[in-house]
C-alpha cells in the first residue's frame, strides 16, 4: 500500500546580495536575476507519494551529495589505490546513474547549476601523486593517470561536465610533490587551471593535524599557500582537506579557516587585510556522504567525504542501485531550492530569516602568461 500522505515540494527563491552586485555586468545567465526576494510559492506541486524506497527522479535539494576521495591511480588496489580500469568504471557508473560533476566552488556558493533530475557529485584527489597527473617521455599525458582518464572521458562526452578538485601537498617528498616531475610542475598546474580543475590545499608536508601543535599547523598551511604561488602567481586556495582527515582541538578550528588577521597599509594608506590563507570549506575524510549545502546541519569546516576505494565505492554503488540513500536531486534551477514541504525547518536561514544559499561568490583565478 502506498502512503496516502503526499510529499509536497516547494520552491524558494534564493536571496543573495551577489545578484544585486552582478546584475550590472555581462551576459552571464547567472547574473540575470533581478530584484531578488524570497518567494513564497504560488502553488505547491505534489511530486510523489512513494515511501518504501528513495525516489531519485524527483527534485529534492536536501538530499545527500557524494564527495569521493581518490589517492593513487595504480594497479593492485588497496585503501589508497584505485586502478585505472576501475576508475573509468566509476565514471561510467556515475554518468549512467544521473550524476553530474560539480566543483567545490559550486558547493560553497550553493550554486548547483545542473539539469533537473541530476544528482551532484564531487571528485577529489588528495596528495598530488604522480599517478594523478603524469607526462610520458613522448610528452603526452599518461592515458592511465587520473587526468588522462578524465580528459579522455571528456572527449568521449563533450557536453557532459566533468571536473575534479586536486588537494595538493607541495612540501611532500617525491612523487607527491605536486605530481612528481619537478621540471613539469608549472605546466601541470597551468594545465589543471586552464582545463577547469580546482587546485586546493591539503597541507604542505602532510602532518597529522590531530597530533600537531596549532602553531605548526598554521605555518604548514601558510607555507603550502606560499609554495603554490611560486608556480601560480597570486593564486589563492579556497578550500582545505586536512591530512588524514585529522583536526586539532576544536578551539583551533577557526585558525584552519583563516590565519592570521594581520593588516598592512597600501600606497593610499588604506589598511588592507593580508591573510596567510583563507579556506572557505574544510573537507574531512569521514567516509560519509556530504549534507546538502542548503541544510542547517551543513558545516563548512567539516564537509564529509567518502573513500574512493573498492569496499567503500561498492557499498555506495549498491545503495544507489537499490535506492537506499536519499540523494540530492536538482530542480534544474540554481536560483531555487526545492525541498519537501515538511522540511522547510531544516533549511539554513540567517538571523534575519533569509534563506542562506549563496553567501559569497568566489573570484576565479586567471592564468597569467610568463616567459620561462
Q: Which is nearer to Zn ion, 126 or 220 (CB)?
A: 126
**296 vs 299: CA distance, rounded Å:** 8
The minimum distance between CB 313 and Zn ion, in angstroms, equals: 18
User: Which residues neighbour 134 within 8 Å (Cβ) at sequence distance 6 or greater?
Assistant: 141, 142, 145, 147, 148, 179, 180, 181
The minimum distance between CB 292 and Zn ion, in angstroms, equals: 26
The minimum distance between CB 80 and Zn ion, in angstroms, equals: 9
**322 vs 33: CA distance, rounded Å:** 38
**199 vs 147: CA distance, rounded Å:** 13
Q: Which is nearer to Zn ion, 168 or 320 (CB)?
A: 168
Nearest residue relative to Zn ion (C-beta): 126
Taking a C-beta distance cutoff of 8 angstroms, is the pair 177, 171 a contact?
yes
Q: Which is nearer to Zn ion, 132 or 292 (CB)?
A: 132
Burial of 236 (0-12, 13-18, 19+ CB in 10 A): middle
The minimum distance between CB 162 and Zn ion, in angstroms, equals: 23
Q: Hey, what's the cell of 206?
A: 602532510
Cross-strand partners of 141: 135
The minimum distance between CB 200 and Zn ion, in angstroms, equals: 12
List of residues contacting Zn ion (CB under 5 A): 126-127, 243
Q: Which is nearer to Zn ion, 98 or 177 (CB)?
A: 177
Strands 45-48 and 7-13: antiparallel
Q: Which is nearer to Zn ion, 101 or 209 (CB)?
A: 209
The minimum distance between CB 235 and Zn ion, in angstroms, equals: 20
Cross-strand partners of 186: none
Taking a C-beta distance cutoff of 8 angstroms, is the pair 124, 305 a contact?
yes
Q: Which is nearer to Zn ion, 66 or 243 (CB)?
A: 243
Amino acid at each position: 500500500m502506498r502512503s496516502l500522505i503526499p510529499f509536497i515540494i516547494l520552491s524558494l527563491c534564493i536571496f543573495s546580495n551577489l545578484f544585486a552586485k552582478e546584475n550590472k555586468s555581462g551576459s552571464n545567465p547567472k547574473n540575470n536575476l533581478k530584484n531578488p526576494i524570497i518567494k513564497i510559492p504560488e502553488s505547491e506541486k505534489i511530486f510523489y507519494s512513494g515511501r518504501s524506497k528513495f525516489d531519485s527522479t524527483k527534485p529534492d535539494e536536501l538530499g545527500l551529495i557524494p564527495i569521493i576521495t581518490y589517492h593513487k591511480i595504480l594497479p593492485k588496489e588497496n585503501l589508497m589505490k584505485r586502478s585505472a580500469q576501475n576508475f573509468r568504471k566509476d565514471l561510467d557508473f556515475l554518468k549512467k546513474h544521473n550524476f553530474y560533476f560539480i566543483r567545490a566552488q559550486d558547493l560553497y556558493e550553493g550554486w548547483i547549476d545542473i539539469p533537473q533530475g541530476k544528482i551532484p557529485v564531487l571528485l577529489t584527489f588528495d596528495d598530488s601523486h604522480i599517478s594523478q597527473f603524469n607526462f610520458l617521455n613522448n610528452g603526452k599525458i599518461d592515458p592511465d593517470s587520473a587526468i588522462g582518464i578524465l580528459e579522455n572521458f571528456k572527449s568521449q562526452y563533450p557536453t557532459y561536465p566533468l571536473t575534479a578538485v586536486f588537494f595538493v601537498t607541495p612540501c611532500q617528498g617525491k612523487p607527491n610533490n605536486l605530481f612528481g616531475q619537478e621540471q613539469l610542475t608549472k605546466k601541470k598546474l597551468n594545465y589543471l587551471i586552464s582545463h577547469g580543475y580546482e587546485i586546493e590545499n591539503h597541507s604542505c608536508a602532510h602532518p597529522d593535524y590531530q597530533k600537531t601543535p596549532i602553531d605548526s599547523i598554521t605555518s604548514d598551511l601558510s607555507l603550502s599557500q606560499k609554495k603554490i604561488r611560486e608556480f601560480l602567481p597570486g593564486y589563492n586556495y579556497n578550500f582545505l582537506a586536512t591530512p588524514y582527515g585529522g583536526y586539532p582541538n576544536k578551539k583551533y578550528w577557526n585558525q584552519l579557516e583563516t590565519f592570521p588577521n594581520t593588516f598592512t597599509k597600501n600606497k593610499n594608506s588604506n589598511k588592507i587585510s593580508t591573510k596567510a590563507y583563507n579556506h572557505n570549506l574544510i573537507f574531512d575524510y569521514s567516509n560519509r556522504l556530504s549534507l546538502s549545502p542548503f541544510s542547517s546541519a551543513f558545516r563548512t569546516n567539516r564537509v564529509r567525504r567518502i573513500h574512493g576505494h573498492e569496499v567503500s565505492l561498492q557499498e555506495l554503488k549498491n545503495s544507489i542501485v537499490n535506492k537506499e540513500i536519499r540523494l540530492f536531486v536538482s530542480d534544474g534551477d540554481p536560483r531555487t531550492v526545492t525541498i519537501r514541504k515538511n522540511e522547510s525547518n531544516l533549511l539554513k536561514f540567517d538571523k534575519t530569516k533569509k534563506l542562506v544559499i549563496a553567501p559569497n561568490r568566489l573570484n576565479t583565478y586567471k592564468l597569467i602568461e610568463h616567459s620561462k
